[in-house]
Structure 1
């Protein structure tokens, strides 16, 4: 039986509330501490929750609420910049379709559910230090307050403070060679043939672009623009939006339908997200009574389409391990063993995708030549997505100390 009764969860984005809800299901009382003064319900952009992530959310009872605010995506269409399609992939048999959810709405649902189920969330709590004792841990915040718990969980994102407290030599996020943007196209720019349950991915002549039809009838597009120099979101937003908009128009000149979608957009509506980043393998996932979850320890680039889904899976698995194993050390070791190979394999695949997106003209010509053949033969939808999307967590199964070690030898 676990000796863990209370947990401090640092971070109130996606990982924090899901972890706290899963811990509550496991009989552990968790409080979430968020650095900002309110939930990020106004955050721009959208998150694609894949079937494996949605299945994990069912275990904490969040799936139905998200269906009300999300948009099912039943087909993925892959095209070249001249408008020619080279692949169409439908949702895999027996699985629910992916769900496109506005980032702000996802945060809103998670915080509403946390409050409704008695999970305390405290805002304006920026972590500055941790004191560990033999029987617990104390978190110290910038406002002079502190909190005590049996364990501390770092759910504080890709620029995690907890990661550096666990290991001062921990790696930092790496720039993927791309910078991300998005915007709604003009009210009259949505093609009549564009369906609400389809998402399009375009390998243009110079850059990648995706787009889909929102429920309000407008088209939302998102761009990965090759960019050598890393920029934080704050740095990227300091550049005048008109300047970025001009660069985007130049990069997609001649691409169908990217050129028309961007031209119809307003620079004022441009969502500037900064560099696409990913975490390299993190050597230390935990230390003593502190452990990492979500993007703080395994953030693949957004090209994976799995960032949020993997975060949700890890939150559930961490709660299972803490529920079933007697000490933090045993629980954390099993959790890492259950998760490391899966998340690192997915991150490696996303890195290959990034190299294609940021590659030069020769790389794009090779993709154009090889992709149609690959998707019709050996690179079938089931082989591409089946092992990832069909992954399921058995919440009812008891975790043993050696179960995670055995899982290391399994495929993703």
Structure 2
């Protein structure tokens, strides 16, 4: 029986998994490589209905709702500025479920960490995993984790919630696939003092001739936006060499020939401009061994186009916590977890990759417009399977 879990990674998946295990009566300890858990400071994300309902299962949705703002609908505008379609963002709009919420990534990390701490779950910072081995004990196999600072920790299981470049994934399978660069950069920012009319509680998606931009207006009037643009993979120097002004100029130029507000929104942005590479992992053949398992981006990273990364990580954490509660043998729990999750998450990765592959092309713009038109005619089934997912504890 699992009594203690070592969780590698203090991001979304790590914090949620720890709280799910706490609810299941299993001790958990989080080990975070960085001094804080808030990487990607400045970037924002959406937690969709499926993610929020999974948080509700472990009574952790309240702080997220309190520190975010809603978006219940999505509208698509073509490069001529005309509305192509509008629908509920989650495929349902009956008020029975928690609607999607937008917040900064750092805020989500902070509120989840605060909630985990309130429940007495320890978080150890500055603990970069460098190795792990399974050892025999009087009550069965145990796992010992080794960290770069020379310390170790021992538990019944080790859970790799350590993201895209997971060390745990490689420890489980040295031949595990590496993340694939999708050919696009994701850039986001915050526009101030712009009076472009945007429908309230709505994500306005602008399909330009050469790039794609999504935006929503925050309660303080700022417009939060992201753009998916084709480009070379950014190295560390490549990111540092581009100033916020460089990014504003580059992104605005991609929309300059369109009759949409996209270029004006980008030009009205201050110096908080965040750029990153878009990666995915289409499949990871091996998720676990006898004492170690991976989840979230460590197991199944999706390109950001479906905006489901956070929600998939949340779902994973809750399902894994339930599996470890219900199966005395860790390997049986890991097998059950994988059986419940693999098909769903790989479908999400494939769906997001399909959108990513045509960003910045006329074909991609037409495909997005066609999808919006189908949704407007009532064909919201894709959103239903994605955001209508629920977990019974």
TM over 0.5, shorter chain: yes
Q: State the Cα distance separating 1:132 from its structure 2 match.
A: 1.4
Question: CA deviation digits over 1:268-306, x for unaligned, max 9?
Answer: 22122x211111200000012010011100121111121
The alignment's TM-score, normalised by the length of structure 1, stands at 0.89
Counterpart secondary structure, 1:298 = coil
Alignment match, 1:388: 386
Match of residue 270, structure 1, among 242, 259, 273: 273
Q: Which has the higher contact order (CA 8 A, sep 6+)?
A: 2
Structure 1 stretches lacking a partner, 5+ long: 396-412
Deviation sequence 1:216-260 (CA, Å, 0-9, x none): 111111111111x22256642343333333221221113311111
Picking from 38, 41, 61, the partner of 1:40 is: 38
* 1:86–1:175 CA distance, 2 compared to 1 (3 A): same
Q: What does 1:1-400 correspond to in 2, within 5 Å? A: 3-40=1-38, 43-90=41-88, 91=90, 92=92, 93=94, 94-134=96-136, 135-187=141-193, 189-191=194-196, 193-227=197-231, 229-232=232-235, 235-255=238-258, 256-266=260-270, 268-272=271-275, 274-358=276-360, 360-361=361-362, 363-364=363-364, 366-367=366-367, 370-371=370-371, 373-377=373-377, 380-381=379-380, 383-395=381-393
Distance 1:177 1:271 in 2: 17
Counterpart CA distance in 2 for 1:34 and 1:77 is 38
Distance 1:151 1:370, change over 3 A: closer
Distance 2:87 2:21 in 1: 36
- Whole-angstrom distance in 1 between the partners of 2:40 and 2:373: 42
State the Cα distance separating 1:334 from its structure 2 match: 0.6
Distance 1:368 1:17 in 2: 34
For residues 104-145 of structure 1, what are the alpha-carbon distances to aligned partners after superposition, in whole Å with 9 as ceiling and x for unaligned?
111111110111101010000011111211320111111111
Q: More deviation in 165-174 or 238-247?
A: 238-247
Task: State how many pairs are aligned.
Answer: 384
Give per-residue Cα distances to partners, 1:16-74, cap 9 Å, x unaligned.
11101101111110100000112317821211111111010011111111111111111
Residue ranges of structure 2 left out of the alignment (5+ in a row):
none
User: Is the CA contact (8 Å cut-off) linking 2:74 and 2:203 kept in structure 1?
Assistant: yes
The Cα shift of 1:387 comes to 1.5
* CA deviation string 1:315-344 (max 9, x = no partner): 111111111112111111111001000101
- 2:339 aligned counterpart, secondary structure: helix
> 1:190 offset after TM fit, Å?
3.2
Kindly indicate whether the alpha-carbon contact (under 8 Å) linking 1:318 and 1:332 is maintained by their aligned counterparts in 2: yes
